[in-house]
Chains A and B, each alone.
Chain A
Amino acid sequence: MREVGRGERTRIALTVNGEPHEIEVEARWLLSDVLRHGLGLTGTHVGCEHGVCGCCTVLIDGHPARSCLMLAIQAEGARIETVEGLAQDGRLHPLQESFVRSHGLQCGFCTPGFLMGALSLLAEAEGMSDAEVRDAIGGQLCRCTGYKGIVDAIRRAPAVERERTR
């Protein structure tokens, strides 16, 4: 453990969407702030800054995590994935495509968090009941959709993926 003084900056290395970055951060800076304002990845949204709404969900070493509850300095060496990394070569990820088709978003503010949180469900989504999907996304808030479009989108995403590989 090393001590970092107030206002002092520390150089950290991390990988975001496959790209390595080295940046200087103050010890108190939130990971969400550094992603948004340090790296310009403003797709990660901040809805409550106390870990309840889930808008800021990103993948850290493959696992969903709330970037507003983590300090950037804790992400030293981490592999982070954000919503910007989902579409490849201008083509939407099947989950994104499914959200579009099922009206899974309205204002779009919570959407990046839902997308990153639901990625891990894709393999099993089709076999899940509505209630199971609702349970699985039960830690993220949406104020617009009433969740129906989101639940539909997640359940139909595997079919969208299959359409592409056919």
Chain B
Amino acid sequence: MTGRGRYVDDFASGAAHAAFVRAEPAHARVVDIDVSGALEVDGVLGVFTHEDLDDGFAQRLPLLIPNDGLFAPRTQYALARDEVCYSGETVVMVVARDRYRAEDAAAGIAVAYEPLPVAADLWAASLPGAAPVHDGMDDNVAGRISEEHGDVSAAFAAAAHTFEWRFEMERSAAMPMEGRAVVAAWDEDEQRLTVWDSTQAPTGIRSGLASLFALDPDRVHVVAPDVGGGFGVKVMQFYPEEVLVPWAARRLGVTVKWTEDRREHFVGSNHERGQIHDVRVGVDHDGRIVALETRFVHDTGAYCPYGMIVPIITAAQLPGPYRLDNYRYELRSIYTNTVPTSPYRGAGRPHAVFVMERVIERVARALGMDSVEVRRRNFIQPNEFPYRVGVTFQDGGPTVYDSGDYPEGLEVLLDALDYDGWRARQRAAREKGRRVGIGIGAYVEGTGIGPYEGAAVTVLPDGSVTVAVGLGTQGQAHETVFAQIAADDLGVPLERVAVTTGDTRRIGFGVGTFASRSAVVAGNAVHRAALKVRELAANLASRTLETDPGDLVFSDGEVSIAGARERSLELGRLALISNPLRYAFGRDAEEAARLAQKAYAASDRPLPEGTSPGLGAIEYYSPVSGVFAFGFHAAVVEIDPDTCDLVILRYVVMHDCGKVINPMVVEGQLHGGVAQGIGGAFFERMAYDGDGQLQNASFMDFLIPYATEVPEVVTVHTETPSPNNPLGVKGVGEAGVIPVSAAIANAVHDALGAPVDSMPLSPARLFELVHER
């Protein structure tokens, strides 16, 4: 904004720089590494291969979320040992005086490979006889999970109609504007490691590094400063560079920086989305879904650092707002010789919603009904909460919706869209040969999962308040939202609250920013800590003002006696009083010392038993389960039959994330999400060729929507508070992206009469659809 923001690459100017030699072939045995060319480059400080790594650094990187169904887990080595399994895998690390020299040196390294068969295509890789992605495996199935709710076979037997369809969603990626970056400084005198990391989970990185370096965690600090977008790709723990850069800093005794370039980000940072679903659905004569079964494959890439969490989320969230009394899924996570995958904003939900909403649309068409009516007939009703979906949620517990009013939400959407009006305009347009279509996508999003977050809230002697949370921020306005919560609880002006996120020097425990959980979990932790501080302040003030704590009012940064505002104390003064220390500097210090003497005159010691110096508290919040936001998107599109150009005539978002803390922030999250959804619906795919080479690894070829591609978005809201947390809030971070592909696909189907069962809709695909009829 002013140029004073601090992203990781802005730190440690003049530090040594790391560069990586990455595998070119997608699958090969490493035969020989000749580093002699690198050693000749002036300014090279070190060249490292797997052989140079010791202890834990030579082991495979962690598997973050194990699962009993994940029977063949594989994670990568920080530097490849003898086999590379995707193009982009780190093979050699070079550290040099600056980045130019590091890249010169990397270019001088020759790696000899013996090629192995490549499995790049998801479906082909899933079939028996496919080339194995990993040495020592006969096929590419990393794991398999199935679950059944109700009696699916019996329900199919009784169904009036049964349909089978296939739905496909291609691989995409988060693509934050700032790539990843790591700076590590090792202090030999203090035996202390400090890491600045563009991560969404600094506390987890810290714990992992402390364990890897065998250091007391107090000697390891990880700071996520300003982070230029994350959207999931930076919640991965660990990428190779996050281990190697600190390792090199200690080994070489210099501060080492690595800043990813965009091409590296395409081939070295995780992707997501690729899934193929085969669906069987049984309905009655009235359009009620009586049975649904999906067998699907998830493209986990060459490794599964995140276990199978993405397809697990898909499976749990596929029913959405609909009652599925008989639901069965079987998911298989499939290795391919491509970049590994882990959650990207939406994390399995865009796929789930695409499948479910296409089912609704196709059922409606098969039965000659309006899809709006099919939705109404299948909704879970407002009086059915808490509602048990009947399958396992991503946190391992049952999927239980806490609250919602789906029928009402749909009506609010239809009103905002002017649904009947658009149907009339659509009929009129059709009579003139124009191809206009209306599509809806509905979703329920599990947000705010555990295990916990913490917050440290402190009142400083100048009356300002500091809030520190363990999770990082990547633009979600945590600084504003958490400040609002603390300001409300403590009765201080918003501008007197300063929030620090993602700095383990300030609070060591926390989990991370993902799963739309920050406002819910960290927000409630801030609320708890602020209420604790309020209680401490009330106790202190009651002694000083000689009144009952219950008679005190907190406002304008002061604590006063209700009905006697002239008898008040500034919060800052209470912070001073709480610390009975002499020789304090600063305004009013003398008077504060006198007040402290007065407050403690009745006590037997300067710091009464059970109290501690300072006016602050650290509290943690751990939710009983996720809380479930929901919403609907509607798109009206027109396709020019001659040029196949598609225009979005109207786009409406109806959203409910429980109690809204800050409407502007919620709107911002929704608009940003829709833009990413538009990218996923029309442009974004990872174009791998049969050899596992990514053909569009640049912003010239992988198309992210510019302002010209994003439609005007109308947003409307309902507000169904969650009964599960004190603030009544639900997450909003991912919602905007989730139903976009579904709404667009349904609209295009409606416009052209041709089913749209795979995404994205490239211009070529639109041409095919226009000419399919």
Contact = CB atoms under 8 A, between A and B. Distances in A.
A6 B9 CA distance: 26
Interface stretch (A72-80, A120-128, A143-151, A157-165): A143-151
B662 to A, nearest CB: 10
B227 to A, nearest CB: 7
A49 B670 CA distance: 29
B704 A148 contact: no
B58 to A, nearest CB: 32
Contacts of B178: 45, 47, 107, 109
A117 to B, nearest CB: 11
Contacts of A100: 1
Contacts of A64: none
Contacts of B476: 106
B477 to A, nearest CB: 7
B2 interface: yes
A60 B520 CA distance: 45
A86 B1 CA distance: 9
B631 interface: no
A103 B665 contact: yes
Interface in B628-676: 664-665, 667-668, 670-676
> Could you tell me the dominant secondary structure of chain B's interface residues?
loop
Question: Which of A108, A133, A135 is packed against the most chain B CB atoms within 10 Å?
Answer: A108
A88 to B, nearest CB: 11
Given A7-B42, A141-B699, A143-B175, A42 B227 contact: no
Contacts of B179: 47
A138 B674 CA distance: 17
Interface string A27-47: 011000100110011111111
Contact of A103 (B664, B699, B704): B664
A87 B670 CA distance: 30
Interface string B454-495: 000000000000000000001111000000000000000000
A107 B475 contact: yes
Given A107-B229, A110-B177, A130 B2 contact: no
B100 interface: yes
A4 interface: no
A82 B475 contact: no
A138 B708 CA distance: 6
A59 interface: no
Contacts of B475: 105-108, 144
A137 B707 contact: yes
A53 interface: yes
A7 B708 CA distance: 42
Given A96-B1, A137-B707, A146-B673, A107 B176 contact: yes
Interface string B670-684: 111111100000000
B698 interface: yes
Interface in B338-387: none
Contacts of A87: 2
B175 A43 contact: no
A50 B177 contact: no
B698 A52 contact: yes
A107 B228 CA distance: 5
B2 to A, nearest CB: 5
A84 to B, nearest CB: 4
A109 B1 contact: no
B100 A146 contact: no
A107 B226 contact: yes
A99 B1 contact: yes
Contacts of A133: 707
Given A7-B42, A43-B3, A49-B261, A143 B707 contact: no
Interface of A: 7, 26, 28-29, 33, 36-37, 40-50, 52-53, 55, 82-84, 86-87, 92, 96, 99-100, 103, 105-112, 115, 130, 133-135, 137-151
29 contacts: A36-B10, A37-B13, A45-B178, A46-B9, A47-B262, A50-B262, A50-B699, A50-B700, A53-B699, A84-B3, A96-B1, A103-B664, A106-B229, A107-B227, A107-B474, A109-B178, A109-B226, A134-B710, A138-B706, A141-B699, A141-B706, A142-B675, A143-B229, A143-B672, A143-B675, A146-B673, A146-B675, A148-B710, A149-B671
